[in-house]
Every structure is written in structure tokens, then in C-alpha cells.
Chain A
Amino acid sequence: MAKTIEEINEKIRQGKAVVVTAEEMIDIVREKGVEKAAREVDVVTTGTFGMMCSSGIYFNIGHTKPRIKLGGGKVYLNNVPAYAGYAAVDIFLGATALPEDDPRNRYYPGKFVYGGAHVIEELVSGKDILLTAITYGTDCYPRKTLSAYINIKDLNEAVLFNVRNAYQNYNVAVNLSNKTIYTYLGMLRPNLGNANYSSAGQLSPLLNDPFYKTIGIGTRIFLGGGIGYIVWHGTQHDPSVIRGENGVPRRGAGTIAVIGDLKQMSPKWLKGASIIGYGVSLSVGIGVPIPVLDEEIAFYTSVKDEEIYAPVVDYSKAYPEREPEVIAEVNYKELRSGEIEILGKKVPTNSLSSYAKAREIANILKEWIKEGKFLLTKPSAPIPGPESGIKFKPFSGRELKEEVGSK
């Protein structure tokens, strides 16, 4: 007995929809079976909260008097360089941007106290942000410099746009070398001193819809505390990786590009993060509703941590050298227990994404839907699955090393 999204939305409007979180769905399917669960449950909500470097915002500041053309000039927000290669007064700021005078990793490991992500968090909090700009003058845009405080409430359109978020599974990072290393998966102690991971596992959006059967372009989602949309598959989308019998990818696989109105969002769900020895990133809260259209989807949404396997990768050598070697596979139940066994050694695990926040997001989204505030959307196009043949390719540019050397 299949349902349609329109039928589910009708139930939501009438306040009759049965909405559960991905954690709750696990027990429902175990107790009642897939068939009954598919009939009874209308929507499963998922959530994830972790660092997502591929995040950014764009906004329009309106025209100054006299006018200034920032496009082609240089723009800084609280000293952090922003991108000004658009038209006159549109600006893009990436989460990982750093002030030019940040020592970076010169004093290793660098602290990366402040960057684009922190500006984004402050802007969303309603704080004034210092905009400084220097550019060239034209007959229609004579002004050459600008130094002013801007505030989110005065901007024309402030939009969060992330090119690759909510990774479907990810590496578990370890360090086989004999010195401490600092990575985007955190500080890794020597000789397998710890193993770090970053996924909400059984609560994670794309792990509950492994073949992207309901999640697609146009899917309405919880984004940074407001409402956002999936606009495309994310960069590095890699649907064709090896999968388990349950269809769940055993490697980093699908990703989504998302967009939403920054003015609706909250600093609680968009947080600047400083990763020692690595850089700055933005932690983003994302929640995706999955309509339980049939038994197959009921089955997928009941996936549990012990059924999701992640690859363990050595970040001291295999990862930086881009060697394919995977040391072991471990599941998220083991990872979440705080200790795993690798190469015969007991290794403590650390999570970089917040499971508590993922749970909170899934519950917020559940409430929104139950209250009728949030209706589901039918994707206007799917995001590419394994059948698309899309494979994430390694760098294939023709390097100029030899030519430079022969001069």
C-alpha cells in the first residue's frame, strides 16, 4: 500500500500525520514489522549537526550614496576577506576564510580563532559587522572606499548557500605515525591513540534514504534553525561506492547542496568552529523529513547504528598521500560506545558531530510537521543515485612541474 506525498500533506494539514524520528522508527519497525510500520508512520525525521566547511553566505548591501562598485574590488567583513566578483553590491563570504594577518599554521598548531564562519555566526546573531572595501571608481559608481557597520536586518536578501553538506557516511580518522597530527577530524594521537569520526549515523539524513528515493532537488528541510531547500547534489557526490546488503554506503558517498534564508536562522544552529592546526569551519544543523511512501522506505528509515559501517583511514599517510588503503571497518554502535578495536588494539573514539544536537533537530522538525507548520515537498528532480554512473574523480589536471623545472 503506497502513499503519496500529497496524501501525507493532507494528513499533516488535518493534524493527523504520524511523525517519528529516525531513532524512534528503529523500535517501531522492530516491534511491528516493516509492513505495519509503513502503514502507520507517515514521516520520519532525521538530523545532523557538525562541521560543514563547504558553507557560505551571500547578501546584497543596497546602494551607497554616492554609489560604489564592489565587484572587482576587495571587501572585508570584520577583517575577513569576502568574495566581491559579483555585481556592484553583492558579496559572498565562505566559512573557511581567514583574516590576512592570521598566522595560520606558522605557529603550529595554529589556533584559527576567527574566520568566515565566526562572521556568519555573529551576523546571524544580529551583531553589527564591519564592512571595509576598496575598489576602483567608474562614471556610474564613483566611490572607491567604504567603511561601515552592517546589520543582517538591513541587508537585501541574506542567504546561506552550502555546496556540500550532510555527508552520507564518512571516514574514521586514526594516526599510525609516532607523532601527534592535527586534521579536520581533530587531533590524532600517535600510534593509534584515538579514532575520530563525524556522523549522526542512524539519525543522519542520507543514511536513512540511502538511494535518494525521497530526497531530491526541491526537498524542504530544516536548515540552521530555519527552513531551507536542497538545490542540487553536493560537490564530491559519489553515489557509486560499495554498499552493504541494506543499501547503506560503506564509504563517504552522497552529499547535498542546500540553500535557505539566513534571516530565519539562528546562531544556535550555525556556529563558527576553530579546529586547532587545521582551520575554521561552520557547524550547521540540518534536518530532513523522509516521507514513508512504502515498505521499502520504512525499511531504510529503520537503519540502526550497528548496521552502518565506516572505513578507518590513516590520516598520517594514506589520507594525505591519497592512498586507497582502509585499515578496517567499524560500525557506529561501536564508535558511539567510546572505544573500538583496531589492529588488535583498544582505541578510544571521539565524535566531532553532536549526536545530542542531531536528536534535538529531528525532534524540532517532528514538532513542526505535527503542528502543521511544515509541509513536505515532492522533489522536482532526483539527485543522482548509483545508476547515474557518477563517480567522484581524483584530480586530473595536467601539472606543470616539469615545464617549470626545464626553464
Chain B
Amino acid sequence: MRTERVVLHFPKHLADKPVIVNLVRKFDLDFNILKATITPDEEGVMVLEITGEEENFQKGIKYLKDLDVKIQPLSQDVIWDEEKCTHCSYCVNYCPTKALQRDKETYLVKFDPQKCTTCGICVDICPYKAMEIRLIV
């Protein structure tokens, strides 16, 4: 089994074709639409989570590429909103990579995005929603 999040760019001529349905029918893949939009120049952008057997997964991707769908892996970023952060330091010891740290003197919390692996723990637990996951498309 493989689960992958991908960003698909559909050219204009595919906009009304049953492309995604075929992923299910032909390749037995499961999908979960995370986001779908149409850009101003009518290109469709869809963020999908695809799950299926490795072999089917490869075939499905090939099918999309052959249709001229551009595929890029989805990356995520965790953003720290300093305005919302109360520096309670609650998140610090949950962070597995020490991307969140508390200064020993000032007790202020700092976030180092370089160290963050976007595990999302802090996003779930910060009471003030100061940590946010953003999908980069």
C-alpha cells in the first residue's frame, strides 16, 4: 500500500473528462480530494491523497501523465504565528525535532522552520492556533 499526496494540474481540455473516476475504475486507487480549484485561465488544480497498491499507483500516475496532467508532489509547511503565540511553551517538549524551543532566560519560545519535519503535533495541541500547517501548491 502506498499513500501519496500530489498536486495535479489539469489542462483546459481535460476539465470535463472523468479522469479521477478512472483512477478508481481502472487502477483500483482510492482518493481523497483535499482541495480543488479552477485557476483564472481555466486550468484545474486538484490536491489529492491517493492510496493503493504500489503497482496500481505507478500505473495510475502514468495514466495521468499520458493525458498531459502535470503532477507535483505536495509539500507542507508549518507556520508559527508569533502574534498568536502566548509563549506558554506548552508545545516545546512535544516537538520531536526541537524546532520549538524555549529560551532559558526570557522564557520566550522560538521556532526554527529548518528543523521542523511538519509532523503536526504542535498544530493539534497549541491552544491558541499559533501553529498552522499550510499546503504549498
Contact = CB atoms under 8 A, between A and B. Distances in A.
B88 A50 contact: yes
24 contacts: A49-B86, A50-B88, A51-B127, A186-B90, A194-B94, A196-B90, A272-B128, A273-B127, A338-B92, A348-B93, A349-B93, A350-B89, A350-B90, A350-B92, A351-B88, A351-B89, A352-B127, A353-B88, A356-B87, A356-B89, A356-B106, A357-B86, A357-B88, A359-B107
A283 B87 CA distance: 12
A355 B107 CA distance: 7
A298 interface: no
B81 interface: no
Nearest to B127: A273
Interface in A323-375: 338, 348-357, 359
B104 to A, nearest CB: 9
Interface of B: 86-94, 102, 106-109, 124-125, 127-129
Contact of A356 (B91, B94, B107): B107
Given A194-B93, A357-B87, A187 B107 contact: no
A274 interface: yes
Contacts, number: 62
B93 A186 contact: no
Contacts of A283: 86, 127-128
Nearest to B89: A351
Contacts of A187: 94, 124-125
Contacts of B88: 50, 351-354, 357
Contacts of B109: 356
B125 A276 contact: yes
A49 B88 CA distance: 9
A354 B127 CA distance: 12
Given A194-B93, A351-B88, A352-B88, A276 B107 contact: no
